[in-house]
Amino acid sequence: MAEQVPTGEFAHWRLYSALVVDDEEGMRRFLERALAGRCASVAAAGSVEDAEELMRRQYFDLVILDIALPGKSGVEWLHELRERGFSGDVVLITAYADLDTAIDALRAGASDFLLKPFSLAQMLNAVKRCFDRSRLARENYVLRREVQELAAGDDRLVGRSEPTQRLCELLRRIAPTPSTVLIQGESGTGKEVVARVLHRLSPRAQGPFVPINCAAMSPEIIESELFGHVKGAYTGASGNREGLFFYARGGTLFLDEISELPLPLQAKLLRVLEERRVRPLGSETEIPVDVRIIAATNRHLAQEVAEHRFRQDLFYRLQVVEVNLPPLRERREDIPDLVAHFLAQIGSQLGFTSIAPDAEMMRLLQASEWPGNVRELRNSLERSLILGGFHWARGPSAPSERPKSDSLEDMERQHVRSVLAAASGNKSEAARRLKISRKTLERKCQQWGI
């Protein structure tokens, strides 16, 4: 069954929850009715005390707050919310507005300001401005991650072999569903490419695609990265921070190398999959998340379960739909298409034109075992171009005949020098092209005196 996603002007409002705080019952009901059919959830309170109780139990993206409340004023409470790290939008409303009141509201951290009486259209426009800013901030965050993490090139499945065509047909069938997907395959087979294709073909295509490598971070960091944290949750947590589940709302969260997730975090992930809610570190408030999960691993997860390194219940939760990627050696017919695809990409980046391998080189490429699969093929082509055409393909260092171990370091050093030169000395860009961390690149540069 295809996934149902809201459409129209208010479609993305379904990701957000709102809290109305006003001591006038008529105004509370008016605002509740206006937002109830548009937002994911709407709650109301007649005082700051009641609102505090609601906020302890639930996360709200938006608070519509009257200034004149019994006891503590709306502006006072807003100051406290901001000091505690609340990052949601707050629209202040009042019947007694003057310039000083408006200035106080903005200084307290108000997102918008409405003067009673206001029309439904005025209120909806204020809410729309808040949600649009929230969506833009979320999209900008995701885009910055994309720029940092996305390897050069587009996300297409390249090849015309029978295994590739079977894979494409399977992806077309499962993409429209909301089901969790587990992608298994050797390193370098293109698991993230497949995940991006699934996202692009799904009803969530207009939402964010948020990838995270579970093997690239320590357990402490990855927990905060996934679920977020509140101010003071741990040493150095100077403010609230939303996690990747939050930023992926309405889209897809791709958990790469899921088998590397520590067992305690596996339990927390299982709970999120079951309840569709996350609790940031140090918080008592749960945040509803509408996210499709795609997980990937280069290990045999059933074997990991048998050896008690992976939770069986989480394995079954992830394995709703399983996609097994064939290694490159089982689809050698795709190598000519892949070579042409990668040479076009790499040549454009490095300033080469009209690059094409000869028949002998193509024979050698297709004869190689490629233990590193598609990633190794691409890296070999890039290294070959940087080091001087395709000379290696005709000599003793063809990909099917590995270079002697004592020449590997020299080859790697020359490759790093060339990539640094192509990146104009920018180590962050060079590390991205080399597909290693900047810290690893700096260590190699220090080791080789580069």
Candidate from 50-59, 141-150, 359-368, 373-382 with smallest mean pLDDT:
141-150
The pLDDT tens digits for 11-22 are: 778 888 999 999
Residue keyed to tokens 């069986």 = 312
What is the Cα–Cα distance from 124 to 407, expressed in whole angstroms? Answer: 67
For residue 153, pLDDT beyond 70: no
For residue 127, pLDDT beyond 70: yes
Task: State mean pLDDT over 124-142.
Answer: 83
The pLDDT tens digits for 210-248 are: 999 998 888 878 989 999 888 877 777 777 888 899 989
The answer to whether 212 and 228 have CB atoms below 8 angstroms apart is no
The answer to whether 163 and 276 have CB atoms below 8 angstroms apart is no
The secondary element (H helix, E strand) that includes residue 209 is: strand 209-213
The answer to whether 378 and 193 have CB atoms below 8 angstroms apart is no
For residue 328, pLDDT beyond 90: yes
Q: What is the largest CA-CA distance in the chain?
A: 85
Full set of structural domains in the chain with CATH:
11-139 (3.40.50.2300), 150-326 (3.40.50.300), 329-401 (1.10.8.60), 403-450 (1.10.10)
| Mean pLDDT computed over every residue of the chain | 84
For residue 8, pLDDT beyond 60: no
Task: State mean pLDDT over 346-369.
Answer: 78
Please choose, from the candidates 301, 138, 286, the residue with its C-alpha nearest in 3D space to the C-alpha of residue 210.
Answer: 138
User: Which residues are CB-contacts of 104 (< 8 A; sequence separation ≥ 6)?
Assistant: 75
Residue 276 DSSP one-character state: -
Residue keyed to tokens 């020449």 = 407
Candidate from 187-191, 320-324, 440-444 with smallest mean pLDDT:
440-444
What is the Cα–Cα distance from 254 to 263, expressed in whole angstroms? Answer: 19
Our separate counts of H helices and E strands in the chain read 19, 14
Single-letter code of the amino acid located at 351:
G
SS3 assignment, position 424: coil
The pLDDT tens digits for 245-280 are: 998 999 999 999 999 999 999 999 999 999 999 998
The answer to whether 59 and 67 have CB atoms below 8 angstroms apart is no
Could you tell me the pTM of the whole model? 0.69
Residue 223 DSSP one-character state: H
